[in-house]
Structure 1
Amino acid sequence: MNYARKISNTSSVEARFARVLQTADINLAEIDDWTPIGNDASPSYNYFQGIYNGNGYTISNLKIRSGETNKGLFGYVTRKDSSTPAVLTGIHLRNVDIDVSHNSNIFCGAIAGEASSSTVITFCSARGEIKTDATSTASYENYSGGIIGNNNGTISYCRADVKVIASSNSSESTSQCAAGGIVGYNYGTILACEASGSEVSAQSNAAEAQAGGIAGCTNGYITSCTSGVGKIIANGNGLEVNAGGVAGNQYGAVYSSYARGDATASGGRDDALKAGAIVGYHHAFVDIDLYIGTGAGGQGTSNLSPSSGILYKADATDEEIYNLMQTKDFTKEISTTTYDATRFPAYGIEVTKVTFSSKGAWSYDPASGKIRIRGLPSVTGLSSVTGSSSVSPP
């Protein structure tokens, strides 16, 4: 049964607390304009507060052309109560096609538009293209990302191969247009995630433009992530125009990660343009350590200087990257699921707290010379109903 479609079009109460187990691949090709599951629009405020376990199967041909502020497979996701977080796990989107404009805020991601602080997103993946345009000249935000648009939750072990192009017509310099390979704007936690895709770009009229391989702007916590996004572009005339291999604007702590993309900033005043292979702009009062940027330009115009834990090296090998990541361990208690992404099917969706280790997140194979994050789902060779393995082994 296409239960994803069913709960998208059913009563607010039923959709709000649904516990869904996907049991087959889903093709949404017949739906020209998907209505996200759960929204943050009055008068119903139909937040999704349940559990969706994609179980390693795929959802293909998600297309969105209109709708409210929150756009994605899910709209707005939050907890049911203080002891029951919302959970999105094992969801794998293919051929995502989102092309929307809105005369208000836009929070857009392939998996969900917005995730609250009590949301757990884990073992998900997405592939496709997202294009968003905030058309109002008023003070509205555009946060667009490959997985989540506006993130306050915990995202772990997710992978996105999504081209993200976000634009804003706001004439207010305090507004923001933020685009990221995983998240547009991150207030929460991102761990062990990988972004690829050909381009992430933020383009604005007068609003701040922030573009990053992982997050356009981060005011939260990022560790053990990697970006292979080819081009990271910030273009605008605002007070800040920042582009970075990992984050365009870094307000929060970031550790043990690397980026291979080329970041550029253009448009406005020279003193407003900041771009670097790791971050565009680094705020001195927050931590950053064990980072490597291999993109062209190195430090560029960013204010993040090289050090023992900050390396700009265009020809850095995977072995060098791995060895640096093993010099320190950053730990954090996180909420995750018992879902076992190495099995198919993998039904477990109980939420548990574990201690995440940045050193333990990485593996290196001397035979192939490749570094990778343990346990990530694939963006290409996922299972269908044949029952083959849905992820790369840990």
Structure 2
Amino acid sequence: MSINQATYTVVEGGSITAPKGFTSAGLHCGLKKTTRNDLGVILCEVPATAAAVYTTNVFQAAPLKVTRESLADGTLQAVIVNSGNANACTGEQGEADAYEMRAAAAKALGVNEQNVAVASTGVIGELLKMDCVRSGIAGLPEKLDGGAAGAEEFSQAILTTDLVKKECCVEVLVGGEKVTIAGAAKGSGMIHPNMATMLGFMTTDALIDGEDLQSLLRTATNTTFNMITVDGDTSTNDMLVTMASGLAGNEKLTRLHADWDAFAAAFTHVCQHLAKAIARDGEGATKLIEVQISGAVHDEAAGAIAKTVVGSSLVKSAIFGADANWGRIIAAVGRAGVPVSPEKVDISLGEIEVLRQSRPVAFDEEQALHYLQKTDTVVITVVLSDGEGKATAWGCDLTYDYVRINAAYRT
């Protein structure tokens, strides 16, 4: 869906605890070799209407199984998250550890065990150090905070190779009542979602129908998190969870409510902001790449082309090298597996037209070099002549540091 900025307000410095009813915390329990936080929690003071989307990877980590079970009735009250260990491909013991995390968190926080979601991120194939997890969970309640401090500790606790935290907060009026929507996410490598971000958490104080919240989450995900790529790899642990406390005082939101479109636009903004932040923070990245496709046979075709271009290693390498090599772009368009009229393609880098009707256009190489070197966000525009389909995808350049980081990820 298109996003109408006029319907909502971005809250500078806002966080996942900004919506009414939410507190959070984070600490270092010993799962990471460094002293960075590696365990976090979000707590709602009441059982919240909840929804989630998960990775489509066949090998799904144990926490996803536990979270699916917890969400079976459409409510959650807490999410317990660890970083430094994915608890993926860990067999029966891994499942037992995920269930133990849920039970321990429920007991420490004083909530129903079935209302606790579990999420993990980090190295695949290693068992959790449960002694560290147990002691860490026991220490979380005293650190719970409804302000910026708690949100900061949580945001730091979910990071792995990320260089920066990813947060967003907006406000929107629903029936005259102020409703707040916020999110926090992590993701830097193994990024090619087929559902959501690597790990994403959204909170809102809206009173909202559960089925409509799930539907909105899927719709927003498809145009935001599902339109980013860093390296083409879909994680075993991808999960996006949203909780709605219902404490804003608004009349219940459904798709038939007069302010539904405004709420949906605000919700989608948070998703898009977090998705772009993940792409911008890709491992070793120096630039965000935005690929805008228009004129495709339909939106799905445009999306496939956009993700093929932004995910091309050759395109990503060219952007890193500040090489205006449009041949790599049109080659990616042609291999996306969707119908394209090969004689009717226009391509531009920023405002610099390099191809018109599939024929080279003379352009200033120095101007192109300056654009690719100096801009923080490189925009690639591809105009087709086959229909009304359009889509935008985001990624990052491919640098030497990506190889360095992933060559030593475990060690």
Same topology, TM > 0.5? no
Q: Choose 1 or 2 for highest CA Rg.
A: 2
TM-score (norm 1): 0.31
TM-score (norm 2): 0.30
Greater percentage in strand? 1
Greater percentage in helix? 2
Higher relative contact order (CA 8 A, sep 6+): 2
